[in-house]
Chain A
């Protein structure tokens, strides 16, 4: 064990941090002790959410990969199966999610610009209502599939030429839209918490990170649907006469 290696000065100066722009911010009630400034805290939180969304892309990616492989393996079967999805409900849900992205963006904006509580709460409330409307329509669609017995499993019943591929299509349909719906449910839960925080007048131009981070998540879940909708409802639809 050698201790005599310190032949020259230590490279790191441990000294008090400079007093300056951070000192005022250090007293903000929502600054956690291990951050130096509100800016650092906000940057860490948003980067954290971005990194999390990367993991979400990879998580959904496995399912998209499976979809590509099986669509490639049985294109006509997938077209036949796709035709039994209700394109009107699907389109309505796409519109609902796009509008909810707008209300979400407005909610972030209103927190960022210190709008009155009423405005912040209104936009969050609209976002939640639209999210619930999406889930309601999804529930109607799922019920129809159960009624038509096109839920994969022992009772799967298919009046067409590609029963096997259709069952696979619906396996993927339920796995992908189910995972997406789970994310929507979690999103509605998060938005409810954010709404309560907004009601408590927590957000203003100095501190709006939770709204912003929740908004990133909400937009991501919307974008996943923007991919799911054409893959499941639209592709090859016009080729199929049935």
Chain B
């Protein structure tokens, strides 16, 4: 590491506030997103902390049940809509997608900046809703409680989600057009990095699903404000229609969270085993399969809601189908690691964590897709544990792994590897301690969304709260050393990991225009072995 200087790059190309707030550079917009979603992550984490503290004892002794309802609602809204959904696409995707396809920027740089401002505006609505008293409907906004009964700030929070949806739509639109139209000469679809494939599949869900949640929360706001009979049965509406429309987006939204993390893991596994991915085309197409089949399974949220048994049966079978492409990915990552030259750097630790935790999260999803079992565990802590294994154990592990893997590219500096390994381990231990007891206590029958619980469940809740504390520490440590690294860590150079791909060919941090001369691609961009390029597309 003899590198001591960095050239002109996107970070030192202008320092004023205006050069950031009016930037059209996808890399700077990625940084803007990174800062804002980190803020929302810690806000959502703060609500989680209060939830766990309240659940330390069986009685509702720290906060009133009404306040507790608001805490889990705000935790869900902030984490789902303002952290998880934009997390990897808007930060790592924004930063890397144009570079990975060999372009100077996304197809629509101004729309990209607009999407960040829309996100901030939607976030402002949510913060106002939280600050003025919060919402108590749960992040799911089920009607008719949300439209007629609740006295909390449903309209403000709903508008926040409505507005933020458009930032997600615009990001997806930008990614799709960029992937289709901005690829460098010679960069065929089957030479694309798998991260690009997963971003493309994610973008499809964003553009097809998000408009539906937008119109749905808008209808909730209209029904609440004008007393139109759309979802409230007392006014002639149909509450099941709300659940259908809500989950038509919100189930695929889970794949908006997990697909990008899967893309990250595909990159990390290749880089830290020094092998090409096993079955490139299968992994690429499994992303599309998840995106498509993921749109056909929403009814498994309605097994006990009054949906017909026949419809439930169909949705149950379709939900099993979505496990196939997910399993394809897990098997192919495992096959890639097999006999690979594995290096145990911190991004790879997160990748290992992801593979294990996502597998547990995915398999328990099959339990829940089984109608009979779902009736037993519906609305218990079992489902809380299940989706946290996917969203936290999966999506956030992938996000942190990706952030560590590309941090040298984004900032031009390394981070303290010892601390990073320690943090990765802390996250893994804290996560399992938090959520594994919830599987057990949920199976034993503890329902979700109550401030009080039966005393015999206390031991599991104490374990869970202890785990959450460890997990919280595991999230704070990286933030400290990442900030520290900006000034103090050694410079990274173009390719500190010996990884492959267009992003590692250019300086760290990249110059504003990414490529001083346009790249021409002659073989797969992630070739760790010379002769293993897949035959499709040639």
A and B bind: yes
Q: Which residues of A contact B (CB under 8 A)?
A: 1-6, 8, 10-17, 32-34, 36, 40, 43-44, 47-48, 51-52, 54-56, 58-63, 65-66, 69-70, 73, 152-154, 164-165, 167-168, 171, 175
A65 CA / B210 CA spacing, docked (Å): 15
A233 CA / B244 CA spacing, docked (Å): 27
A153–B227 contact, CB under 8 A?
A: yes
A34 CA / B30 CA spacing, docked (Å): 17
Interface Cβ pair total, 8 Å cutoff:
158
Residue of A nearest to B182 (CB): A44
A59–B211 contact, CB under 8 A?
A: yes
Chain B, interface residues (CB within 8 Å), range: 35 or more
A167–B229 contact, CB under 8 A?
A: yes
Q: Which residues of A contact B520 (CB under 8 A)?
A: 12-15, 17
B23: min CB distance to chain A, Å:
13
A34–B103 contact, CB under 8 A?
A: yes
B524–A11 contact, CB under 8 A?
A: yes
A200 CA / B174 CA spacing, docked (Å): 29
Candidate in A51, A54, A69 with the most chain B CB atoms within 10 angstroms: A51
A180: min CB distance to chain B, Å:
13
A63–B215 contact, CB under 8 A?
A: yes
The 9 closest A-B pairs by CB, nearest first: A5-B498, A62-B215, A59-B211, A58-B211, A34-B104, A34-B105, A171-B228, A17-B518, A44-B181
Candidate in A36, A48, A54, A164 with the most chain B CB atoms within 10 angstroms: A48
B128: min CB distance to chain A, Å:
24
Known contacts A59-B215, A175-B222; decide if A44 and B498 are in contact (CB<8 Å).
Answer: no
Q: Which residues of B contact A17 (CB under 8 A)?
A: 185, 517-518, 520
A36 CA / B184 CA spacing, docked (Å): 10
Selected A-B contacts with CB under 8 Å, 10 pairs: A11-B521, A12-B520, A14-B520, A40-B181, A48-B177, A51-B173, A51-B176, A152-B226, A153-B228, A164-B236
B177–A152 contact, CB under 8 A?
A: no
A14–B211 contact, CB under 8 A?
A: no
Asked if B363 CB lies within 8 Å of chain A CBs, one says: no
Instruction: Identify which of A11, A62, A164, A168 contacts B211 (C-beta below 8 A).
Output: A62
A1 CA / B178 CA spacing, docked (Å): 33
A189 CA / B505 CA spacing, docked (Å): 45
A61 CA / B213 CA spacing, docked (Å): 11
A238 CA / B237 CA spacing, docked (Å): 27
Known contacts A4-B498, A8-B530; decide if A66 and B219 are in contact (CB<8 Å).
Answer: yes
Known contacts A12-B525, A17-B520; decide if A65 and B181 are in contact (CB<8 Å).
Answer: no
A51–B227 contact, CB under 8 A?
A: no
Asked if B343 CB lies within 8 Å of chain A CBs, one says: yes
Return the CB mask of B476-488 against A: 1 if under 8 Å, else 0: 0000000000000
Known contacts A11-B522, A12-B525; decide if A47 and B181 are in contact (CB<8 Å).
Answer: yes
A164 CA / B232 CA spacing, docked (Å): 13
A187: min CB distance to chain B, Å:
18
A169: min CB distance to chain B, Å:
10
Q: Which of B490-522 contact A (CB under 8 A)?
A: 495-500, 502, 505-506, 513, 515, 517-522
Q: Which residues of A contact B135 (CB under 8 A)?
A: none
A62–B498 contact, CB under 8 A?
A: no
A1–B496 contact, CB under 8 A?
A: yes
Q: Which residues of A contact B524 (CB under 8 A)?
A: 11
Q: Which residues of A contact B241 (CB under 8 A)?
A: 65-66, 69
